[in-house]
Amino acid sequence: MNFWQKILAEKKMILALSPMDGVTDFPFRAINKKYGQADLIFTEFASVEGVCRSTSTKILNHFDFNDAQRPLVAQVFGKTPAFFKQAAVLLCELGVDGIDINMGCPAPTVANHGSGAAIIKNPELAKELIRVVQEGIAEWKNGLELKDCPDISPKTVMAVADKKKNFALPDIDRKKIPTVSVKTRIGFDHEEIDTWLPHLLGMRLVAISLHGRTLKQGYSGKADWSVIGRAAALIKKEDPSVVFLGNGDVTDYEEAMEKVKQYNLDGVLIGRASFGQPFIFLPKAEREKALAEKNIFKIALEHAKLFEATYPESEGYKFLPMRKHLAWYTKGVEQAALIRSELVRSNNSLEVEAVLRKYKLI
Ligand SMILES: Cc1cc2nc3c(=O)[nH]c(=O)nc-3n(C[C@H](O)[C@H](O)[C@H](O)COP(=O)(O)O)c2cc1C
């Protein structure tokens, strides 16, 4: 039984933290797992071209995780089959639980290069990418070494070994291989699940996640859950072993549960509603208890400290990516605009603490 099936057997529904570039980094995932206990979490995506071609190993930080964050699915995007295969070997070596291929990103920096949601227009490439990731995993299982991958630099091999040590990740176990899944959208410029999804079925994917918007829609309008429901019926009919998750505009545990029941899904991914709100993954009674007993600003400070510890300035990371999280934590409090305006100028956790104390929030 893979971890998707295990969660389903235990909980009847999978509630996952959706992958979000620039958001679901190591500290955010750690806070989310600790206080929200999402069943499954995705990393932000990383480009396979970057993994194989970049002279810096900074891109590997996207995959940072520790055992507390399991089950952990690492997401990759790109368009070069050879790089997908080698990135899969690298992720096997790191010991992630799942590898997810992004076929849903609408950002011009991704889709205009033929990656992300643009792959919906190129189903043969979609199938090739799934195949090579599966091949990379199978070859790693049979003994392929990361250092023998032609486009993985010795520096990257060393960085992976360092990550395993720094995050106390278990030794390599070639019997434990990651699952392969795809996250996609309902179409390119119009809804086209009846022609798009059959290409993915029969590819031995363990799971598919579907965001109920087209590439053209970006994030505008509303996710179309009736299409997600039709996709669920199609998948259950054609390839019932595939775990199917819906995604788009869900705000909390109860809404996710409603969607699962109404549309016969295996689970739901929540993205934006998790901003500054780790408790939304908890059922209502637990959520209300957590909200009453825990001070969200203490959690914000813990997040800021963890961010600093994970990305010390010496590594070239600044406090900048943390600021948006601080702003999100102020949602709904009195004087939010004023507090936010100070928090988004903070440069370290000491400054964050000073602002929070000034407004008597901690
Ligand atoms: C800031 C941001 C970054 C995102 N990055 C990714 C990504 O790296 N990979 C991905 O598959 N989807 C990405 N998404 C899409 C989300 O995972 C999700 O599909 C989308 O936000 C809809 O779900 P929601 O309404 O629950 O937020 C991103 C969304 C946002 C807002």
pLDDT tier, 3 (very low <50, low <70, confident <90, very high otherwise): very high
- Averaged pLDDT for residues 176-202: 97
pLDDT tier, 318 (very low <50, low <70, confident <90, very high otherwise): confident
> How far is the C-alpha of 110 from the C-alpha of 323, rounded, in Å?
25
Architecture label for domain 3-283: Alpha-Beta Barrel (3.20)
| CA geometry: angle 134, 139, 142, nearest 5 deg | 130
Q: Is the pLDDT of residue 134 over 90?
A: yes
Backbone region of residue 73 per phi and psi (left: phi > 0; alpha: psi in -120 to 50; beta: other values): beta
Domain range summary for the chain, segments of one domain joined by +: 3-283, 295-358
- Averaged pLDDT for residues 187-206: 97
In ligand 1, the atom with minimum distance to the C-alpha of 75 is: 9
pLDDT tier, 146 (very low <50, low <70, confident <90, very high otherwise): very high
Distance 216 CA to ligand 1 centre (A): 15
Within 6 A (CB) of ligand 1 lie: 18-23, 44-45, 75, 102, 104-105, 183, 211, 247-250, 270-273
Q: Is the pLDDT of residue 285 over 80?
A: yes
ipTM of model: 0.99
Distance 19 CA to ligand 1 centre (A): 6
The predicted-structure confidence for 293-307, as pLDDT tens digits, reads as follows: 999 999 999 999 999
Q: Which amino acid is at 226?
A: S
pLDDT tier, 174 (very low <50, low <70, confident <90, very high otherwise): very high
Residues 6+ apart with CB under 8 A from 155: 57
Q: Is the pLDDT of residue 316 over 80?
A: no
Per-residue CA distances from 108 to 191, 203, 210 (Å):
19, 28, 20
The predicted-structure confidence for 76-99, as pLDDT tens digits, reads as follows: 999 999 999 999 999 999 999 999
Residue with the smallest CA separation from ligand 1 atom 5 is: 20
